[in-house]
Structure formats: C-alpha cells, structure tokens
C-alpha cells in the first residue's frame, strides 16, 4: 500500500515538473519567430511559436511589378500572396513547435501536448 502511495507521489512530482517545463516552453515559443515569403519576397510574414502572426511586410515595388496598378485581378494576386506567405509561416511555426516539444520531452510524442495550452493543427 505504501509503495503505491510512493509511486503516486513520484508520478505527481514528475507531472508537476513536466507542466513547469511546458509552461517555460510556451514562453520560449512566444519569443521565437519564423519567417516566410511569397512572390519572391513581395510579401513577408513573421509568426511566432505560439502560432501568432507577428508582422506582415509588403514590398511595394515588387507588388506593383507582380500585380500591376490596382485592378480587381491585381488585388486577388496580392491577397493570394499574403495567404501563401501566412500559410508558409504557420507551417514553419508548427515545425518549430514540434522540434521544441521533442527537445523538452526527450523525443516522446505526447498527444495533445497537455499543459502547453494548445494543440498544433495537423498538416494535411
């Protein structure tokens, strides 16, 4: 009976330590960024490891060269470039999260990442 209590106490202690490590990881991921671009750099998006878009930069001369002078079709090109760069940045953020979680867990694959506050979407 006492052995079971000792095992349970050890489990709880390990769970607390893992939660603390995930809390630290979440803070670290908020500070780490990844960057992606589309249209040969016409649109650049920066995302952090918390799957948040930090910034979007539009290179006006490149956009004008790619999209023209402002027609509806040109607007669609710019919107498509923004979507492509954003999706690429978020994919890089997912990869960053996966690498950091594997580092913290020593390679264990923990479904749902308990305690981290989010579950990265799976890639199609």
CA distance 50 to 66: 31
Burial of 49 (0-12, 13-18, 19+ CB in 10 A): buried
Per-residue pLDDT at 114 exceeds 50: no
CA distance 2 to 12: 15
% of the chain exceeding 90 in pLDDT: 49
pTM of the model: 0.74
Mean pLDDT of 72-93: 94
Tokens of 35: 């960057």
Instruction: Specify the CATH number for 2-105; select among 3.40.50.1370, 1.10.357.10, 3.30.460.80, 3.30.1310.10.
Output: 3.30.1310.10
Structure confidence at residue 123 (pLDDT): 47
Q: Where are the domains of the chain?
A: 2-105
Span 21-34, pLDDT tens digits:
888 999 999 999 99
């Amino acid at each position: 009976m006492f052995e079971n209590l000792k095992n349970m106490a050890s489990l709880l202690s390990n769970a607390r330590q893992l939660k603390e490590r995930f809390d630290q990881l979440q803070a670290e991921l908020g500070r780490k960024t990844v960057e992606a671009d589309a249209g040969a750099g016409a649109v650049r998006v920066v995302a952090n490891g918390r799957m948040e878009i930090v910034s979007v930069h539009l290179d006006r001369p490149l956009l004008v060269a790619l999209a023209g002078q402002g027609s509806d079709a040109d607007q669609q090109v710019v919107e498509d470039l923004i979507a492509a760069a954003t999706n690429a940045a978020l994919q890089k953020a997912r990869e960053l999260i996966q690498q950091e979680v594997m580092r913290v867990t020593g390679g264990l694959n923990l479904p749902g990442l308990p305690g981290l506050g989010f579950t990265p979407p799976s890639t199609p």
